[in-house]
Structure 1
Amino acid sequence: LAETGTYNVNRLTQLQPSLQFYSTNPRNSAANIRGLGAPFGLTNDGIEQGVGIYVDQVYNARIAAATFDFTDIERIEVLRGPQGTLYGKNTTAGAINVISRAPSFTPEARVELTGGNYDFFQGKASVSGPLVADTLALRLSASITTRRGTIYNTRLNEYQNSQDNQSVRGQLLWHATPTLDLTLYGDFNRQNPDCCVQYYARVGATQRPTNRQYAALTAAQNYAVPSTNSFDRVTDLDTQPIARQKIGGTSLVANLDLGGATVTSVSAYRFWDWVPNSDRDYIGLPVTTVSANTSQQYQVSQELRVASNGTRKIDYVAGLFYFHQIVDVQGLQVQGPAASKYLLAPSTNPAADSNNPAVLNGLTQTVTSSLHNTSAAGFGTLTWHVTDAFSIAPGIRVNYDKKDAGYVAVITTGTGATLNCSAAAQANTVVKDQCGVLAPQAYTPHLSKWNVSGDVTAAYTVTPDIHAYATYARSYKSAGVNLSGLPLDGNNDPILASATVKPEKVDHYELGLKTQLLDRRATVNLAAFWTNIFDYQATVNNSQYAVLRGYLSNAGQVRSRGIEVDSAFRPTRALNVYANGTYTDAKYVRFVDAPCPPELSGGTAQALTNGVPTGTTSPAGTAGGISPASCNISGQVLPGVSRWAASFGGEYDLPARLVGSDGQFYLGYDGSYRSHFSSNPSLSAYTNVRGYSLSDFRLGFKTARFNAFAWVRNAFDRNYYEVLATQSGSTGLVVGQPGDPRTVGGTVSKSF
């Protein structure tokens, strides 16, 4: 991890091709395994994540809380497929376990310093040793990462998408008795980068009238972006980006050895404070001048497990899990002086609303939302060793979830008046235009659900070096509530039936082989998987009221299937190589009321008869055409999933003696590849991200306690997008977030 520069979850995806991580800012992040986990491109506080993030056995409820830099890490485990019968929270797609180095009773210290272009600096240090011999040990660690941005803002005269992270962490290990160990953890992380910007990537035709698409809207205000090539890495966004967060908490892990079993208790408290601002119109016009959803999360959890020690005829794990989370959000969106001309229908009448900046200038939406989320479960797994070679391991989980939430959006005009969007009030055309941009709403969703899930694995050791297994799992992703606003009916009232979404039901099948060959100089692991998800929690619109894009609902069925290979080889003592690959076929099996792609959006709404769409619609990209009320995208690929992905590389070592120390010179290479993927909930020609490959090299000298190497990442300076998105309002503007350009630098580390 250290030599490959893998210091956060995002970089981990270049080593583990089954893992995908997408982030337009820390709050709007998603981790998926095998294409499953969270709806692509959507942040909604009211749903669970399908990929669990654990740090030293503590579950982190929000993916944003896992966007810290890895510091003093022993190892990272990426577990694929449903989890939940052995520990922690029920997760349907997998888990990422981060395990830090434990306190040591032998004094030790580590220092690592890295520098590179773009003013990159990273410093890490840790120290550990006994406070009381054989009884009390302490470990302290800290890190700092800074880098100027890779995107230059010509308007604000600064580099953006920078890095500015600091963290401290402490552990106290107490051997209280010969059979009882207690470890107290505490950590605090602060991040304050100038981040995160998305900007002009391309333009595609929609079904909006020509004079309301991007080219005409910008021409009407004499505006042009500084470059239409996003890989020039310049923008002129007029809103100062902010991505400030504080992450921290404390936990106590206790292990009591009872001889035949060990009892483990994990008690934890964690917090996440988020202060953002972003330019949500993605251009240098003051259309939306403020877009910020300040958020605070607090969580407490308690886990109690008992696990048998050693191999016997029947081994077992049984446990209880309790989790409570509070999320508070204070949202703010403010329209600017260019909003009227950009968002309202153009007119030649000087008195028309579109020519009057005051109609939308200062129009403000203030959102207050809250979530109280409680989850409790009992779980357990038995492993019956039928013979020395064959075992069967059934597991079960009984889960209870309760969510109580509230959402209130208040709209005020530029004069400070509270906006009323009743039918009578909208007889005034100014009010009608204002309500068409931002409308008030309030609702209080509640739900409580029980579910029972389980799995069974049959494992057979063919030879000491060949192990085969077969797994079936029935899992559930907890029910959710919509906390990003609801679609409105004809009276501008929220459609309350959309306030909650049902739990996902998962059927998962997996076959696998784990092998070590050629006198254990080769490791080759194979897995074939097939996962069906029913009531998939997806981004949809309502086929009857196609007035809001991007809220949650249950969408029929999704399927993900594929094959994975993980392999490592050491043909000689000097050379080791690895190759990991995955083929993933993930698609919507049934999704009949999905949001339409940009090229089929923005036109006159399709007629409805008794709530059923009728009449013909226009071909894609027909300006002023008729847009479908919704689209049936059954059979289309899931967004964010590459069919092919791989990581590969190796290292060649040459023994040498340098400055009186025995060590080795080495040359290392790490490559990754992923094929194209869709960056939109429904497949679009405009938001297809082309496949790309990345190559990293390193050259250095290391001993048992010292390592110094030079590195280059994205060595061939490949241009690629991490994500693409569309500007709201069906203008046809597609915005992107380019991946990092080529970076070069050096690292020196020393342990004592």
Structure 2
Amino acid sequence: LGQTEEVGKDQWRFVQTANTGAQALYSTPGLLDGFGIRTNSTIKSLSAAVFGQVDWEVLKNLHVLPGLRFTYDKKDVDYDRNTYGGLQTTDAALLALKAAVYANQQFTTNVDNNNLSGNITVSYRPTPKLNAYATFSTAYKPVGVNVGGLPTTSNGQADLSVAVVKPEYVEHYELGLKTKPFKGAILNVTAFNTDIKDYQTNVQSPQLGVNRGYLANAEKVNVKGLEIDGTYQLERFLTLNAALAYLDGKYVTFTNAPLPLEETGHTEIINGVATQVAFKDASGGRLPGISKWNVSGGAEFSTPGNLATKPGRYFIAGDASYRSTYSSNPTPSSVLNVQGYSLLNARLGFKSDKFSIFVWSRNIANKNYYEQLQAAAGNSGLYAGVLGDPRTYGATFRYSF
């Protein structure tokens, strides 16, 4: 994969820091004119797996379902990033300013790994309207490699310790009930606890010289929660559905997390010298992307009819959802939390056994919201937001053969 990226003379405005300020050296003629990087990277990967599961009825209505999976993964990476352009100089101060934008970086790495994971479920169904189950499972997310550039050590060299991302190992416990309490109704309840060792998280580092996000491992995380969902169908003309989820996700141990945005440029006294640090202990902090509360509900009203000569049902439907505030940064940050928001959607159309046609609108209220906030590179204190979709309209036609 080859990639070229280039900046211009005004790029200094986005990389100056509290330490560098608006120093005059940034205005050196030609310093950043046509300054860029050419990156060539290759990655070769191999993945193979065998798996199986059985369903054993131990007693009447009591089933045990064990399963196993063996996985093998291998990855090889060659990364080469070189700068070009800008002012050609040997002045150390000017070179440092250029390095705040782009820096050379080369590394190669290869890794392979295998894993045996499994699960076992005990399911008891005393009546057709009740199914209780318990599950224990182990899972595995393959070893990873970084091909977007690495953070640097205190001497400016690529930190090869994060070139390889260790695989995730998951232990998951789940208890659940699936019920049909009365005619037309379904109610499900699930409680779970998940422990993940070496959790792979995508880090957007503001550190100098890191122009891309990279993957890192958090030593251990925990996610636990409770989910309730149900539907109710009144004859055939009205269907209601609702869901509620409570989730608690946190880093149990993450000692080498990147600094949050508000601590960028933080220095500590090490061996009597003020040294800028790039990592901190985020143990106990919130996991990114997880809202404590998620609520959704919807309704669909339909009536029989024909479209041309095709029998089916005309319908009108709407749904609403809400999620509470969540962290949007690998390391919890006071300025990178996405505020909770609600969305409303609707659709109107006709459906039959073979086809459906309908018009729809998402985010009818045209709610302004962020999906993600993330720190920008360069120690500038800048952060960027990924906006959620505004009100959108459309039409969909589906046909099944």
TMscore range, shorter length: 0.7 to 0.9
Q: Structure 1 residues 357 and 565, CA, compared in 2 at 3 Å: closer, same or farther?
A: farther
Counterpart in the other structure of 2:38: 366
Name the aligned partner's letter for residue 446 of structure 1: N
Which of 485, 489, 499 in structure 1 is aligned with 2:163? 499
Counterpart in the other structure of 1:468: 132
Which of 264, 279, 296 in structure 2 is aligned with 1:601? 264
1:439 shift after superposition: 1.5
Which of 495, 514, 529 in structure 1 is aligned with 2:192? 529
Residue aligned with 1:698, SS: strand
Cα distance between partner residues in 1 of 2:29 and 2:232: 66
Cα distance between partner residues in 1 of 2:399 and 2:95: 66
Cα distance between partner residues in 2 of 1:386 and 1:695: 47
1:339 shift after superposition: 1.8
Counterpart in the other structure of 1:653: 302
Residue aligned with 1:497, SS: helix
Is 1:634–2:283 an aligned residue pair? Answer: yes
1:717 shift after superposition: 1.7
Query: How far does the alpha carbon of each residue in 1:125-164 deviate from its partner, in whole angstroms, 9 at most, with x for none?
Result: xxxxxxxxxxxxxxxxxxxxxxxxxxxxxxxxxxxxxxxx
Query: How far does the alpha carbon of each residue in 1:312-331 deviate from its partner, in whole angstroms, 9 at most, with x for none?
Result: xxxxxxxxxxxxxxxxx212
Counterpart in the other structure of 1:336: 8
Which of 106, 115, 132 in structure 2 is aligned with 1:442? 106
Q: Structure 1 residues 746 and 378, CA, compared in 2 at 3 Å: closer, same or farther?
A: closer
Counterpart in the other structure of 2:239: 576
1:639 shift after superposition: 0.7
Cα distance between partner residues in 2 of 1:330 and 1:588: 36
Cα distance between partner residues in 2 of 1:719 and 1:739: 7
Higher relative strand content: 2
Is 1:453–2:102 an aligned residue pair? Answer: no
Contact 1:346 1:354 (8 Å CA) reproduced: no
Is 1:488–2:152 an aligned residue pair? Answer: yes
Counterpart in the other structure of 1:686: 335
Is 1:553–2:225 an aligned residue pair? Answer: no
Percent of aligned pairs with the same amino acid: 39
Cα distance between partner residues in 2 of 1:497 and 1:725: 24
Which of 66, 71, 80 in structure 2 is aligned with 1:408? 80
Residue aligned with 1:484, SS: coil
1:471 shift after superposition: 0.9
TM-score where L is the length of structure 2: 0.88
Q: Structure 1 residues 628 and 405, CA, compared in 2 at 3 Å: closer, same or farther?
A: closer
Contact 2:303 2:314 (8 Å CA) reproduced: yes
Query: How far does the alpha carbon of each residue in 1:725-748 deviate from its partner, in whole angstroms, 9 at most, with x for none?
Result: 233223333322222222345556
Cα distance between partner residues in 2 of 1:656 and 1:729: 61
Name the aligned partner's letter for residue 235 of structure 2: T
Contact 1:600 1:627 (8 Å CA) reproduced: no
Query: How far does the alpha carbon of each residue in 1:616-662 deviate from its partner, in whole angstroms, 9 at most, with x for none?
Result: xxxxxxxxxx9764322212111111111133212112345787776
Structure 1, unaligned runs of 5 or more: 1-328, 420-424, 616-625
Contact 2:101 2:209 (8 Å CA) reproduced: no
Cα distance between partner residues in 1 of 2:338 and 2:389: 15
Cα distance between partner residues in 1 of 2:76 and 2:337: 38
1:364 shift after superposition: 1.5
Cα distance between partner residues in 1 of 2:13 and 2:398: 57
Which of 723, 727, 737 in structure 1 is aligned with 2:372? 723
Contact 1:577 1:650 (8 Å CA) reproduced: yes
Alignment of 1:235-274 (within 5 A): none
1:386 shift after superposition: 0.8
Instruction: Please provide the CA RMSD for this pair.
Output: 3.0
Residue aligned with 1:606, SS: strand
Structure 2, unaligned runs of 5 or more: none
Residue aligned with 1:607, SS: strand
Cα distance between partner residues in 1 of 2:395 and 2:79: 49
Query: How far does the alpha carbon of each residue in 1:45-87 deviate from its partner, in whole angstroms, 9 at most, with x for none?
Result: xxxxxxxxxxxxxxxxxxxxxxxxxxxxxxxxxxxxxxxxxxx
Name the aligned partner's letter for residue 53 of structure 2: T
Is 1:517–2:181 an aligned residue pair? Answer: yes
Counterpart in the other structure of 1:39: none
Cα distance between partner residues in 2 of 1:347 and 1:670: 51
1:406 shift after superposition: 0.7
Name the aligned partner's letter for residue 391 of structure 1: H
Name the aligned partner's letter for residue 473 of structure 1: S
Alignment of 1:29-44 (within 5 A): none
Counterpart in the other structure of 1:398: 70
1:398 shift after superposition: 2.2
Alignment of 1:204-353 (within 5 A): 329-344=1-16, 345-346=20-21, 352-353=24-25
Query: How far does the alpha carbon of each residue in 1:693-724 deviate from its partner, in whole angstroms, 9 at most, with x for none?
Result: 11122334556667554433222221111222
Name the aligned partner's letter for residue 364 of structure 1: G
726-735 vs 506-515, greater mean Cα deviation: 726-735
Number of aligned positions between the proteins: 396
Cα distance between partner residues in 1 of 2:141 and 2:243: 28
Query: How far does the alpha carbon of each residue in 1:454-505 deviate from its partner, in whole angstroms, 9 at most, with x for none?
Result: 1111111121221111111122222222222223335433232332122211
Name the aligned partner's letter for residue 182 of structure 2: L
1:385 shift after superposition: 1.4
